[in-house]
């Protein structure tokens, strides 16, 4: 069986919630459950057709045993269907797609649901060593669970690695701010034109109190428009003294989920399901931890080589916007056509719940290809610790 025989029959995502926003009281796995349920419904299949579930989730503290399993069951998948929680940092969701394709080609399963979920709003604080040292007298230090975003190999947070790219590629603050503003503008325009309507599934948010009513959450709340570049230019450096990477030109912290269902072309026909897109090629590699944002500049050519294609063959390109610095560095590495890249905005506007983004950019790429009546595209993503992945897809319908 060729990779091109593997097709997606469903591809959707939830709206993205701001850090501390509308989704802050929902557990990550319950956000994931919304995407799981919607993916099955959109595929037009019964939930017991799914034979395995692979979901990326990188912020797992406090979410119980195997949170993908919880998302799966809460999303209506039978308890007889296994699930695995995958953590490969930012590419997790894309690696889930690759794993599904491998399972299907090996004959282990015919129908696999993949995707990811994360809630940055519910990342807990930690009290390390409290179990053994006790509290007795004196004070204890709460450690922010966000410290897990530090790369333990190099002792640097992801923002510092973005500053490393600024230095290496001579990127200016103005370039980054203008890139970020454009991302928000494109995402705003996409919503105005209804280009996200088929991509996004709503979330009914449970009431926060007995007197409150459920909230129907239907649209990304992460987008800032219009962007005031003068105000953005006054934002302080977020990661390095005298640096230029700020909260404004970095991806937003957010909450969300996405899900896709993959099967064979033959099985899709038997199920009466419509193939949305097929897999052409993918590749996963790694780069230096200190410049992890260079990832798409390496993984995209690697995936294209596997496909026997070039960047100029691509109708559209989706690259995860961890930082504007990273995107500008990737542009300098690949010399891509900027008019083909993230045509509906990227993670700077939509946010980057880590476990979903590798799959989310594939979902977004497919819908962008469909909306523009284009055929083929590539999605690439960098990852904390230097892991990176890219995938080429071809639209079928």
Which residues form the catalytic set?
90, 352, 382
d(CA 203, CA 225): 23
Sign of the dihedral defined by the CA atoms of residues 53, 36, 95, 8, in that order: positive
Which residues touch 117 (CB under 8 Å, ≥6 apart)? 28, 29, 31, 32, 35, 55, 56, 57, 67, 71, 256, 257, 258, 353, 355, 356
Residue 305 has φ and ψ, to the nearest 5°, of -65, -40
Quick one: the chain helix, strand, coil %, rounded to 5? 40, 20, 40
d(CA 186, CA 290): 30
Structure tokens at 24: 């802050």
d(CA 305, CA 320): 20
d(CA 370, CA 274): 14
Angle separating helix axes 324-334 and 173-192, nearest 10 degrees: 100
Q: What is the DSSP string of 381-392?
A: EE-TTSEEEEEE
């Amino acid at each position: 069986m060729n990779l091109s025989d593997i097709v997606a029959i469903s591809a959707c995502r939830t709206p993205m919630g701001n850090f501390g926003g509308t989704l802050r009281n929902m557990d990550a796995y319950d956000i994931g459950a919304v995407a799981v349920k919607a993916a099955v419904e959109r595929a037009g299949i019964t939930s017991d057709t799914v034979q395995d579930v692979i979901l990326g989730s990188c912020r797992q503290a406090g979410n119980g045993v195997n949170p993908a399993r919880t998302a799966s069951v809460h999303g209506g998948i039978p308890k007889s269907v296994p699930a695995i929680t995958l953590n490969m940092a930012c590419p997790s969701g894309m690696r889930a797609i690759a794993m599904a394709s491998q399972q299907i080609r090996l004959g282990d399963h015919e129908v696999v649901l993949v995707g990811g979920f994360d809630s940055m709003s519910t990342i807990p604080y930690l009290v390390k060593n409290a179990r053994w040292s006790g509290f007795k007298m004196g004070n204890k230090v709460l450690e922010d669970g966000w410290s897990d975003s530090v790369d333990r190999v190099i002792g640097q947070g992801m923002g510092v690695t973005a500053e490393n790219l600024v230095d290496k590629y001579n990127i200016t603050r103005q370039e980054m701010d203008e890139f970020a503003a454009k991302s928000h503008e494109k995402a705003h325009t996409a919503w105005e034109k209804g280009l996200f309507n088929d991509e996004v599934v709503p979330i009914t948010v449970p009431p926060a109190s007995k007197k409150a009513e459920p909230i129907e959450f239907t649209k990304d709340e992460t987008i800032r428009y219009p962007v005031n570049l003068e105000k953005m230019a006054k934002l302080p450096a977020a990661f390095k003294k005298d640096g230029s990477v700020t909260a404004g030109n970095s991806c937003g912290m957010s909450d969300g989920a996405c899900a896709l269902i993959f099967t064979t072309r033959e099985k899709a026909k038997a199920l009466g399901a419509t193939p949305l897109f097929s897999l052409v090629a993918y590749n996963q590699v790694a780069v230096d931890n200190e410049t992890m944002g260079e990832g798409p500049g390496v993984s995209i050519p690697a995936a294209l080589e596997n496909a026997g294609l070039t960047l100029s063959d691509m109708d559209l390109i989706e690259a995860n916007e961890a930082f504007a610095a990273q995107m500008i560095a990737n542009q300098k590495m690949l010399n891509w056509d900027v008019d083909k890249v993230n045509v509906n905005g990227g993670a700077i506007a939509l946010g980057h719940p880590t476990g979903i983004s590798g799959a989310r950019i594939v979902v977004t790429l497919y819908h962008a290809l469909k909306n523009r009546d284009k055929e083929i595209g590539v999605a690439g993503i960098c990852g904390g610790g230097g892991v990176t992945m890219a995938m080429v897809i071809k639209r079928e319908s």
